[in-house]
Structure formats: structure tokens, C-alpha cells
Amino acid sequence: LASSSHNHNDFLRCLSTSLPSQLVLTPSSPSFTPLLVSSIRNARLVAPATANPPLCIVTPTNASHVQAAVRCGRRHSVRVRVRSGGHDNEGLSYRSITPNSEAFAVIDLAKLHAVRVNPHEATAWVETGATTGELYYRIATAAPGLGFPASVCPTVGVGVGGIISGGGIGLMMRKYGLSADNVLDATMVDADGNLLANKKAMGDDLFWAIRGGGGGNFGIVLAWKLRLVPVPPKVTFLKIAKTMEQGAVDAVTKWQTLAPALPDDLSVRVVIQKSQANFQSLYLGNCSTVVATMRSRFPELGVTSADCKEMSWLQYTAYIYFGDAINSKPLEALLLNRSTTLGPFVKNKSDYVKKALTKETWKKIFLWPNGGGSGQLILEPHGGAMGRIAADKIPFPHRSGVLYNIQYVELWNGKQAGGDVTPTPNWIGGLYDLMTPYVSKSPRGAYVNYRDLDMGVNKVVGGVTCYQTAKVWGKRYFGPANFRRLAKIKRKVDRTDYFRNEQSIPPLPLN
């Protein structure tokens, strides 16, 4: 698949004969750059995306447009990257970090965002250009009493294309598992541009791979059929902050083994920032019950009924992101899928913890590097349903024995000079090194949806992604056995490695 300017022109010509012209934007269009950056919230990724832009952005309004874009790409040796919500932590849905080596086009699914809820069946079909906020809103308005386990912060526009492809963790996973555990069926376009209308057409292997094997690897998922889950009329939000002087270190030390063992209806996550621990929870029930549970199981937090708020599940999904500001906004704020405000520079990493850290270790972390840095640690408890689902049921392997996931988030105000950005300050890198002895090992686990290119970048050898190079990061995201199975499926469904990026699944070599 050699790319040249000759091919590029033929590709654009092919698109112009296959798609309505207004659905294909090239860099000469005034709307191109605004559309390219429309889903980017991480300022670190803006300059690299605009400095090496895609050949064009295709904005399909139906499946045949997606098929046509893939077929034109195949015919004229141009790769496509697919974007749903655009929240990939390294921007791989719309940027390439290997400039000039491979031209690509972006298929932006934002116009394909319909949600069809079937309240009687407790299912929904959702097109993959929808955000999780949109999904929550459509479910709750069509079928009060039903919900779906997905992201914690919906309204920043996390897309159901990416999040479900990589798993989907959130505050209902202890009760119902990941988003991907609740996928019943799907439709997709494969690497030959064929429409696979359901899981039967895909076959068991491909249907396994797309539920947690990471986005952008096997084809373009157009829609998911989801199993909806029951939610009570009122759920409870509970929030407690503790400084180090107020016992934050002791509380987090205890939380590590307590949170994964709490009733499945109760999730308590922790956000640590500036030497303070913020405990945030979702309880699928009322305030008085959760206060009683917390007082008996976690008296150190000193929870009282003044710390909790009862609300509908839909209100909760908005409240956890907007906070009290949601009181002055309509819940339709959840439908705003593309943001116009650009956040700071952000870098993320992740880990899994299987053995609780000591109080002394936590003290070091709270004070890292010298009395509290610029970053956040977000701890999501596992246990419950997460521990009961087998590690090979879908490609996401972090199940039984995991106490919690850590997301490291470094935020800073960087400068964008030319095409370069200020390098990442080293709060996150130093802390990640410090954590090595305390987190999961052989392999050190990571969550594919918190993508981190520091773990390794693919090499292309003989025209395809090198399996041995990819294994370094692949086994960390998926575990060795699941990664090998993903590579085997890749060989079967996309032998020539058409869908690829800096961390895509390689085809398994024949020997």
C-alpha cells in the first residue's frame, strides 16, 4: 500500500464520485481546520494534528458512505482513521505521529449518532458517532428505570465508538461490568468495505475482538446493540474530601481493599490531587442506606446525610461532570457532543493494583514530587461483577484479583511553538517509575482506553505491523493470551493490515 500524491488525487476523485461533495472536506476548505480540532480537548494534540493534517475528513451520513470511503482508500492506497468522540488520549483517531510516511484520511462519524431504545426488550441500538452523554439522555428519556454502564464523565464527549471498542469503565462496572460486556450485537464495515450487518456475519472471533480489543483495529463499527440495565428511580451521589491533616493517607490505604469488597451497588472512587483525597461515589439506592453502610464499613470518612444527594440516574451522569452548575442548566447539556473550549495540555498513563500499597508508600505518593504536584491520580475500584467475569470473555483482561485501576493525569499550560509542543513535565513520568514495584507485573497492566504511546510504537516491517514490537504494549493492554488471539483474528480479517496506527493490533505472523 504505497502512498503517493498521484494516489492521493485518485483517492479524492474516487470519493467525489462516490459521496456527496459536501461530505468530504479537504484542507483548502475553511471548515476543515475547525472540524479537525472540534473534538480535541487536549491542547497537547492540536499542533501535531494541524501540522500534519489528514488528506481529507469524510463525514458520512449513512453506512454506504463509510463503505465507499474504505473502498476508495483500499483502491488508491490511502489509509483511513476513524473518529467517534475524538477523545483518544494520544489523538490517534485524527493524527499520525509518523509524518510523511503514510497519508491518511479521517472518517468522522459525528453525523451518525442515532439512538433507538427498545424499552420492552431493555436494549438499544446506538450509532457510534454518539457520545456517552447522548446515549444516557436518550435511554433515560425513552425508558426511565433503565441505564447503561459507561464513562464517568459523559459530557466531555467521549464517543461510544472508542470507549466501547476499548472496554468502557465507569461507576456501574462493579454491578454490571464494562460497557463492552453489555454489547449484544453490532454492525460494522470491514477492511474490504463490506457491511457486516450483525455478529453472525462477523463470526465469533471478530465479534469477540471488537468488544474491548481497542478501536481502529478491525474495521469501523457503525452501531452497537446494547443490553440496558435496571437503575432505581433515585440514586445517591456522595462526596467527601480529606486533606492529609484530616487523615487522607489512612483513608486511601484502607479504601484499597475495602472499595472492591463493598456491595456491588456501591462504587467509591478516589481522585487525589494537591495532597487531598476526594472520595466520590455512586450508590444505586437511597441516601439513608448508603450512609449506614459507609458509617459501619468506612467510619474514617465520617459520612453524614449532609454529604449525599439523591437524584435520578440521568441527573447523576450530568452532576458528576458539571457539579452544582447543572442546577442552572437543562439536562439537554448532555447532548452537546463537541466542545468549543480547549482544555490544558494533558498526558495520561494507567496501572492496575493487585496488592494494597502500604501507608508509607501512599505518603510518598501524596507528597510527590515535593509536597504535591500538578497531577491527578484517579482510582477506580474493581471487584464485584468485574472480578466474576473471565479474563478471556472479551479481550479486556483486568478481572479477578484486580483491586483497582489507577489513571495518572498530568495537566499543564504548555506552549505551542510551530508544530512542536512543550515537552511533558515530569510529574507523571517520575511517579510512574516510582510506582513500578507496587503495581501489577509481568506484564505491568495498562488500560487500552487510556492510551499511552510511551509504552511503545509500532514498526512496519515488510509492509505490515511487526508483531514482536507490538507485543511490548499489546500484552500490557490485553494480557499475553488475549493479545495473541487478537493478532490471529487480525490476520484472518485484515491480513494486509489496512487499518493500522501507532498502536494497532498486528497480524500474527504465520510462523
Q: Which of 160, 153, 163 is nearest to 322 (CA)?
A: 153
C-alpha to C-alpha distance for 301 and 299, rounded to whole angstroms: 5
User: Counting every residue, how long is the chain?
Assistant: 511
Residue 151 makes contact with ligand FDA by CB under 6 A: yes
Question: Out of 46, 152, 231, 402, which residue is the one contacting ligand FDA (CB under 6 A)?
Answer: 152
Question: Out of 79, 83, 211, 398, which residue is the one contacting ligand FDA (CB under 6 A)?
Answer: 83
Q: How far is the CB of 288 from ligand FDA (least distance, A)?
A: 28
The answer to whether residues 221 and 107 touch, using CB atoms and an 8 Å cutoff, is: no
The answer to whether residues 308 and 285 touch, using CB atoms and an 8 Å cutoff, is: no
Question: Out of 133, 216, 425, 479, which residue is the one contacting ligand FDA (CB under 6 A)?
Answer: 216
176 versus 362: smaller Cβ distance to ligand FDA:
176
Question: Out of 165, 312, 315, 458, which residue is the one contacting ligand FDA (CB under 6 A)?
Answer: 165
Q: Which of 252, 240, 277, 246 is nearest to 361 (CA)?
A: 252
Question: What binding mask, one character per residue, do residues 433-452 give for ligand FDA by CB under 6 A, x or -?
Answer: ----------------x---
Residue 177 makes contact with ligand FDA by CB under 6 A: no
Q: How far is the CB of 167 from ligand FDA (least distance, A)?
A: 6
Helix (H) or strand (E) holding 207, with range, is helix 204-210
Question: What binding mask, one character per residue, do residues 230-269 give for ligand FDA by CB under 6 A, x or -?
Answer: ----------------------------------------
Cα torsion 301, 305, 308, 313 to 10°: value is 130
- Structure-block grid coordinates of residue 49: 494534528
- Structure-block grid coordinates of residue 87: 477523545
Residue 397 makes contact with ligand FDA by CB under 6 A: no
- Kind of pairing, strands 229-230 and 146-147? antiparallel
Question: Out of 24, 73, 78, 88, which residue is the one contacting ligand FDA (CB under 6 A)?
Answer: 88
The answer to whether the peptide bond before residue 344 is cis (omega within 30 degrees of 0) is no
Rg (CA), the chain: 22
- φ, ψ at 255 (rounded to 5°): -50, -35
Question: Out of 48, 53, 73, 86, which residue is the one contacting ligand FDA (CB under 6 A)?
Answer: 86
C-alpha to C-alpha distance for 424 and 347, rounded to whole angstroms: 7
151 versus 253: smaller Cβ distance to ligand FDA:
151
Residue 381 makes contact with ligand FDA by CB under 6 A: no
The answer to whether residues 123 and 76 touch, using CB atoms and an 8 Å cutoff, is: no
Q: Candidates 156-164, 395-403, 425-433, 481-489: pick the segment binding ligand FDA (CB under 6 A).
A: 156-164
54 versus 167: smaller Cβ distance to ligand FDA:
167
Q: Candidates 216-224, 248-256, 288-296, 438-446: pick the segment binding ligand FDA (CB under 6 A).
A: 216-224
C-alpha to C-alpha distance for 103 and 77, rounded to whole angstroms: 9
The answer to whether residues 105 and 511 touch, using CB atoms and an 8 Å cutoff, is: no
Residue 337 makes contact with ligand FDA by CB under 6 A: no
Question: Out of 133, 166, 384, 425, which residue is the one contacting ligand FDA (CB under 6 A)?
Answer: 166
Q: Which residues bind ligand FDA (CB under 6 A)?
A: 81-89, 92-93, 109, 128, 151-153, 156, 158-159, 161-163, 165-170, 215-216, 220-221, 449
